[in-house]
Amino acid sequence: MSIVVGYIPTREGRAALVRAAEECLLRQTSLTVINSQRGSSFDADEAVRFEEELHRVQAQLDEAGITHAVRQLVRGKEPAEDLIAVAEEEQADFIVIGLRRRTPVGKLILGSNAQRILLEAPCPVLAVKAVD
């Protein structure tokens, strides 16, 4: 039994991480945190910033006593592809993702990783939004 969470350092990403950690404690299972980057627009400064953030995430999960793995994937894939692949590899019980409001035009132009995960995931998906 495991839970996979998609994480980026935003309000929505933090909300997903918090909920995934709560589910891990409730279900007494492990957590895999995935930070997925396309790579083409990922510069050295940004890589350092994300690495520092992921170290903070590891420390928080250690402190909470949650068995976890934190993976930063920079392989040119869409985040949806990475989350779905990891969920399949680990035979995850479910995926947790954070949602943010987007305009209809934003969805059309940029596509929607959340929609793809919801439709193509090999397991249930828990979608959470940040609470003000």
Nearest to 23 by CA among 96, 76, 72, 84: 96
* pTM (2 d.p.): 0.86
Kindly report, residue by residue over 44-100, the tens digit of the pLDDT. 777 778 788 899 999 999 999 999 999 988 767 888 999 999 999 999 999 999 988
Averaged confidence pLDDT in the chain: 87
* CATH code for position 105: 3.40.50.620
**Which whole number is the average pLDDT over 27-36?**
94
Residue-by-residue DSSP string for 66-115? --EEEEEEESS--HHHHHHHHHHHHT-SEEEEEE----HHHHHHH--HHH
The count of structural domains within the chain is 1
Which residue range forms the structural domain that includes residue 101? Answer: 2-129
| Per-residue pLDDT tens over the stretch 100-113 | 877 666 655 555 88
